[in-house]
Structure 1
Amino acid sequence: MNTTLLGYLASGGFVAVPLVAIGLLLWYLVGLRLLVLRRGIERESLELRLDALARGEPAPEGQGVLWLGLQIAASGQGGDVLAKATSQAITELAGRLEHGRRGIRVLVAVAPLLGLLGTVSGMIETFASLGDMALFSRTGGIAGGISEALVSTQLGLVVAIPGLLVGRVLDQREEELRNCLIRIADFVRAHAREEVA
């Protein structure tokens, strides 16, 4: 048995390198998605935002929706303008929240299938060695094929399972942010209706 990482990957057959690449890409996308979702809506106090607005400071990164609403409200423009501008900003932010979600889902689905392909390849190698070798040398060929089958399966699952779990946590965070955006939009629409009435 190979005790080095490279030896372990080599025993996984031809699918090991693509699985490692998928794993690296998956975690890169998870990191990007985490950054986008963390910046989605910061939980900074309203008083600090109002103070910054009074000083004429631009909107902090990730604070565009509420900041836009405060600026329009402070300018004295009508509720209809506030509702339209906030709705547009919410739509843009909602689109950004989806960044990386599809890629994560695709990679999580592909990893175990690629591991299964390695399993099939290893089993084919195992059965081929049974037919090609003399009785005394069969165990080496059999063991190599079985090793490839098991290692590739394991690599596929090692990539997919954590990616699936983390992807689900990020999806829940996205849903929380979407619900927050819906509440903001409802608040702005209610404010716009009050001004019209």
Structure 2
Amino acid sequence: MESLLALLAKGGIVIWPILFCSVLGLAIIGERIFYFRKLKQALPDPKEIDQKKLEDLASYEGPVGEMAQEILPVCCGDREFLESIIDHFISGEVNRASRYLSLLSTLASIAPLLGLLGTVLGLIKAFRVVEEVGSQVDASMLAGGIWEAMLTTAVGLSVAIPLIVAHRFLSSWVNRYEESLYQLAIVLLKKAYRGEYA
């Protein structure tokens, strides 16, 4: 652990914001995975809810129960109004499911840019040594700047790549969740149109 910290310290000051991006990104990924696992458990099979009345479904926990509660007061109303209620509800659910994903995407974009900044700073450091010592320069004098340049690039990319993959993966979960909500909503709306509410 100590040798790892000593190695990272050679990356200069830019290495710490990159590591912060990594820690924050991992926290977001963990929180979203936990959230989606809870959502998955709360979504019943459309065939299961097809056998029940709207009034019974209103007592369900999770999005199905909430959708049924939204529909019940206006279940015999205008069809377009019912659909707009469902669209509004699903939009809110998708927004909640997408929470922090834009921040995760930003972290994935920032990490390699910070790595590039570290590379530039490291090269500046190396060329300053060249300027100061002139023709007396040797490899050991340049080593510090080159270390900083290469290390920050490697760490920046090592952080960015997993964050990008995780963002795509979580975004696909949000898309599947939205599709599931619409499938369930279709079943509920059919019940409302047929008057199967009590």
Question: TM-score if structure 2 supplies the norm length?
Answer: 0.78
Distance 1:186 1:72 in 2: 14
Distance 1:121 1:91 in 2: 45
Unpaired runs of at least 5, structure 2: none
SS of the residue corresponding to residue 21 of structure 1 reads helix
The correspondence for 2:75, drawn from 75, 78, 83, is 78
Change (3 A) 1:38 1:82: farther
Deviation at 1:157, TM superposition (A): 0.6
SS of the residue corresponding to residue 99 of structure 2 reads coil
The answer to whether the 8 Å contact 1:111/1:156 transfers is: yes
SS of the residue corresponding to residue 189 of structure 2 reads helix
Counterpart amino acid of 2:65? W
Change (3 A) 1:76 1:160: closer
The answer to whether the 8 Å contact 1:97/1:174 transfers is: yes
Question: TM-score if structure 1 supplies the norm length?
Answer: 0.78
Alignment-derived partner of residue 110 in structure 1 = 110
Deviation at 1:34, TM superposition (A): 1.6
Distance 1:36 1:85 in 2: 24
1:67 aligns with 2:65: yes
Distance 2:182 2:74 in 1: 22
Q: How many residues align?
A: 186
Distance 2:102 2:164 in 1: 12
The answer to whether the 8 Å contact 1:19/1:155 transfers is: yes
The answer to whether the 8 Å contact 2:67/2:89 transfers is: no
SS of the residue corresponding to residue 141 of structure 2 reads helix
Change (3 A) 1:121 1:44: same
Alignment-derived partner of residue 24 in structure 1 = 23
Q: Deviations over 1:73-105 (max 9, x none)?
A: 9x8983549867655543332221111111100
The answer to whether the 8 Å contact 1:86/1:185 transfers is: yes
Percent identity between matched residues is 26
SS of the residue corresponding to residue 14 of structure 1 reads coil
Please give the root-mean-square deviation of Cα atoms over the aligned residues, in Å.
3.2
Deviation at 1:131, TM superposition (A): 1.5
